[in-house]
Each structure stands twice: as structure tokens, then as C-alpha cells.
A and B are shown apart, each in its own frame.
Chain A
């Protein structure tokens, strides 16, 4: 029941261009994060304009990255191949708008700080659901399927950190986060995200030639192996981290 346009039929030039533009816009966020983490690069360029106010620079660049993501997402919705893909992308796009609005409201102190953290808990589940709908409703090549699956895996990383920070509340953040090893880990994770986004935007689900035919409801069922796998792995890793920080970390600190 999956349907999609076979890429072997050839894509219109316009669709190819739009997909590439969408990919570049989606990549702004992770590329900016890597440059910021390793070289503090974009912020240095704007230092003088903002009189060295680091927080304002950070907010400005985060806003640019969010805007690029939204525009890229909108382009992908326009070149979706079928109805479930368009619905999933619209759902995720709406969530991105809501999350970014919350983030802006938090910067302006219109809402209590920490609101975006609560939004972060839903983030992973929604994206896992959206990506799973796209996976189930399109006849994707095996390679593209695995790369989109990796997007779900990468969302699980963020969700683990969000959940664990909320649950434990007592992680010594300077011990685990922010040091060089942690930065390198998240940079590599962003590199994977860059490759995954590129494959995602160039997969069969965004080949234009929109097919509006209805699909079976099972395509929209959230109880699929992707969402369940995401949830189970996040729960297991959170449990593992709790055990680690409770029992193993004190012993390791003594060794250092």
C-alpha cells in the first residue's frame, strides 16, 4: 500500500532544486552548532555589532537557524509525494513553530524559564512518530530507510539528555557536559545529522508529483516499531544512566 515516485523515472529540475535548497536550509542549524562548539566562529564575527553581548548573539543565531529550518520544512511539505508524508511533515512543522515560539517567549521572559525543557520531552516522540509515518507510507530504498531511521536514533539522544536531566536533577553538568570529550561526541552526532538530513531531503518521499489517495489507517498508527523502539531505548538508557551515576560514577571519581 506504500506509494511513492520511483526515482528512476527522473525528477523534474524544479523539484531537484527545491530539495537541495531545503537540504541546505536544514543544515544551517547543525553546521552552526559545530562551528560554535569548536571555534566559536559565527559569534566572533558578530561580536562588535552586539558590543560583545554573547547572549544576544546566541539568540540571534539560534533564531536564524530556526527560521532556516522552518523555511526548509515548508519547502519539503510542498514537494511531498503523498498525503501521509504531507500530514506528518505538517504536524512536525507545526510543532517546530510552537517550540520556537515558546523559546522566543522564554528569552523575552514572557513565560517561566524551563518551558522549553518541557517541550523537549515531547520533541523526540513527535519526531519519531513523524519519521515513522514517512517510512511506512513510502517505498524507500534500503539506504534511505536506514538514514531516516538514524534520524530517529539521533532524536533519542536528545530525548535521553532531556529526560535524564529532568528525572535526576542532580547531574553535575560541568562534569559530563561542556568538556572537550562531550563536545566532540555531540559534534559527531551533528555530522551524522547533516548526512541524515541530506538523505532525508533527497529520498523518494519528497519527489513531487503529489498523490492524494487515502492510505490505510495503520500508516498513522503510533504503536509501530519505530516509536516503540524509540520509547523502549530511551527508557532503558535513562535507567542505565541512573544506575551508572548512582553506583559506578563515585567509584570512577575515586580512580581519577
Chain B
């Protein structure tokens, strides 16, 4: 968990070593927040466009927030770097990471929403299809077919068994005489 919260700090330590003395968590959390903002923009606008929900996000505010986040990191870069050049490069790296995280958040949220909706649609289709198949089959709760025989000895499959009665494919009602014995209910 700690590694996940300090990955940017670990990365900049490999690049600049002791030339920067920044906070372990701040830059990483800022980049993750930019990704969340991107997800809110992407997801919110998709829901608004497709379903007319009130989830669209004010893009002007998001731009303002991103500029403020980068500004905070710029200030930290200047006060924590040994040289001006290091501060400049770190600020530019943060800018690239913030922009990339924002864009990744937008794209990921759109992809995830599309995949989730597709999965829900397929699930609904499979439920509908399997529900239709089960109605056209024996219709019994235990899945075992039972048969009734009329006076001519013809065999009929008992469908929709419930309450001691069943129906055959011709729509005639049968009465259960006990166990798996069925007789035509006149």
C-alpha cells in the first residue's frame, strides 16, 4: 500500500537522487486525483449523453482544479529542489504525468462503462433466452418429466405441474393421482 502511495517519489529519487527533497505522498496523490477527475469527466459526460442523467461535469472547474494541482507541485518543486534546473524538469514531468493521468482517467472510465453496459446487456439477453427455454420445456420444478396416459394409451408429457394439476401440449388438464400417476381431468 505504501509503495502504491509513493511511486512517483520513488521514480523521481531514481532520476534526481538527493537533489530533490519532496514529500513522499503529495505528488503521487495529486496524480491519482487527476486520474479520478478524468474518470468523473469521462463517466459523467457519458451518462449525461446516453441517459440524460445530471452527471455532466463543469469542464471549466476541472481545468481550474488541474491548474491549481500543477501549481502546488510547481511550488513544491521549487522549494524542494537544489537547483533551478531540477525544479524546472520536475515541474514539466509532473505536468506530463498529470495530463496523462487525466486522459487515462477519461478513457478508462468510458471503456469501463461501455464494457459494463455490454456485460449487463448480454446478461439480460441470456436470462431472457434461458427463461424462454425453461417455459417451453417440462415446466416442472424438479426437472424430471412426467407422463400421463389417456384411455387409448397415448402418452402425453405433463407441463406446468402445480397444485396437483398439469397440462399437456394440447391444453388439456390432467389430475395427479399420486406419485407420477396422472389421469385426464374431465
Contacts and interface: CB of A to CB of B under 8 A. Distances in A.
Interface of A: 142-143, 145-147, 149-150, 152-154, 156-157, 160, 175-176, 179, 181-182, 185, 188, 192, 225-226, 228-230, 232-234, 236-237, 240-241, 244, 248-249, 252-253, 255-256
Contacts of B37: 181
B33 A188 contact: yes
B79 A226 contact: yes
B59 A156 contact: no
A175 B59 CA distance: 10
Interface of B: 21-24, 26, 33, 37, 40, 56-65, 67-68, 70-72, 74-76, 78-80, 87
Given A181-B37, A240-B71, A252-B59, A150 B76 contact: yes
A42 B37 CA distance: 29
Nearest to A199: B23
B71 A156 contact: yes
Contact of B63 (A160, A185, A229, A249): A249
B76 A149 contact: yes
Interface centre among B24, B37, B59, B68 (most CB of A within 10 A): B68
A224 to B, nearest CB: 9
A233 B23 contact: no
Q: Is the interface of B mostly helix, strand, loop or mixed?
A: helix
Contact of B61 (A142, A181, A232, A233): A181
A147 B76 CA distance: 10
The 3 closest A-B pairs by CB, nearest first: A229-B78, A237-B71, A233-B75
B184 to A, nearest CB: 69
Given A185-B65, A240-B67, A252-B59, A232 B76 contact: no
Contacts of A149: 21-23, 76, 79-80
Contact of A225 (B58, B72, B79): B79
A233 B71 contact: yes
Contact of B75 (A152, A248, A256): A152
B78 A225 contact: yes
A237 B79 contact: no
A109 B2 CA distance: 51
A25 B57 CA distance: 37
Given A185-B68, A225-B79, A240-B67, A253 B60 contact: yes
Nearest to A249: B60
A157 B37 CA distance: 19
Given A160-B68, A252-B63, A146 B78 contact: no
Given A145-B21, A229-B87, 17 more contacts: A146-B22, A146-B80, A176-B60, A181-B57, A181-B62, A182-B61, A182-B65, A185-B65, A185-B68, A225-B78, A226-B79, A229-B75, A230-B79, A237-B67, A244-B67, A256-B56, A256-B58
Contacts of A233: 71, 74-75, 78
A157 B68 contact: yes
Contacts of A142: 21
A35 B62 CA distance: 23
Nearest to A238: B71
Nearest to A150: B23
A47 B17 CA distance: 54
Contacts of B72: 153-154, 156-157
A145 B20 CA distance: 12
B64 A241 contact: yes
Contacts of A229: 75, 78-79, 87
A238 to B, nearest CB: 9
Contacts of B67: 237, 240-241, 244
Contacts of B57: 181
Given A181-B37, A181-B61, A230-B79, A146 B71 contact: no
Contacts of A256: 56, 58-60
Contacts of A181: 37, 40, 57-58, 61-62, 65
